[in-house]
A and B are shown apart, each in its own frame.
Chain A
Amino acid sequence: NAGVMQNPRHLVRRRGQEARLRCSPMKGHSHVYWYRQLPEEGLKFMVYLQKENIIDESGMPKERFSAEFPKEGPSILRIQQVVRGDSAAYFCASHPGLAGGVGEQYFGPGTRLTVT
Chain B
Amino acid sequence: QKEVEQDPGPLSVPEGAIVSLNCTYSNSAFQYFMWYRQYSRKGPELLMYTYSSGNKEDGRFTAQVDKSSKYISLFIRDSQPSDSATYLCAMIPYNAGNNRKLIWGLGTSLAVNP
Contacts and interface: CB of A to CB of B under 8 A. Distances in A.
Contact of A110 (B34, B43, B102): B43
A55 interface: yes
A26 to B, nearest CB: 12
Contacts of A112: 41
A91 B43 contact: yes
B60 interface: no
Nearest to A109: B43
A108 interface: yes
12 contacts: A42-B106, A43-B88, A43-B107, A55-B99, A56-B99, A95-B100, A102-B51, A103-B34, A103-B46, A107-B45, A108-B43, A110-B42
Which size bracket describes the interface of B in this complex?
Answer: 20 to 34
A108 to B, nearest CB: 5
B58 to A, nearest CB: 12
A30 to B, nearest CB: 12
User: Interface on chain A toward B: helix, strand, loop, or mixed SS?
Assistant: strand
B44 A43 contact: yes
Interface of B: 32, 34, 41-46, 49, 51, 88, 90, 92, 98-107
| Residue among A44, A55, A102 with max Cβ neighbours from chain B (10 Å) | A102
A93 B102 CA distance: 10
| Residue among A33, A44, A105, A112 with max Cβ neighbours from chain B (10 Å) | A105
B101 A33 contact: yes
A102 B43 contact: no
A42 B46 contact: no
A107 B101 contact: no
Contact of A103 (B42, B49, B107): B49
Contacts of B46: 103, 105-106
Nearest to A43: B104
